[in-house]
Amino acid sequence: MPKKITLKGWVGPPPDNVLRNLAGSVLNVYVNPEIPKPDFGDFFRFARVIGVESVPSNGNAFNCTHCTKTARYRITVEWEAGYQCPEGNDVCEQCINGIVTCGVEAIPFGTGSAPFASYHISLDVNHTSKKESRS
């Protein structure tokens, strides 16, 4: 029977207070799947956060190799077992699709394969918009 994994998703990049405290968390990250016919699941991979580094606003910019955007945070990850990312182990805040809130123990990590891994994912996305306060 598959393990249940629950994700908390974001419509945009997570807030800074969340980003700064991601070390040790497991993320659902958008990756560039193989073309021509990827399965839906090939668009996203699990990644355990090893470290988070904010990019100084007056320093060298970090251009994310995954999404090619200029990022405010460099997030170093370890990918789920059996997956090797051709772009490397650094992603940015804009690559994050969500954070695993339940079932982390069901996700194997490291360089080995995981043919035994079977899990079901449920996704909770908050679509509320941020409203600006007017004076």
Q: What is the pLDDT of residue 21?
A: 95
31 C-beta neighbours (distance < 10 Å), count = 21
Round to whole Å and give the CA distance between 115 and 82.
8
DSSP string, 84-99: --TT-SEEETTTEEEE
Length of the chain in terms of residues written:
135
Q: How many Cα neighbours within 13 Å face the side chain of 133?
A: 1
State yes or no: pLDDT of 48 exceeds 70. Answer: yes
pLDDT digit string, tens, across residues 63-86: 888 888 889 999 999 999 888 888
pLDDT digit string, tens, across residues 99-120: 999 888 888 887 655 555 555 4
Round to whole Å and give the CA distance between 12 and 129.
10
Contact at 8 Å (CB) between 34 and 42? Answer: yes
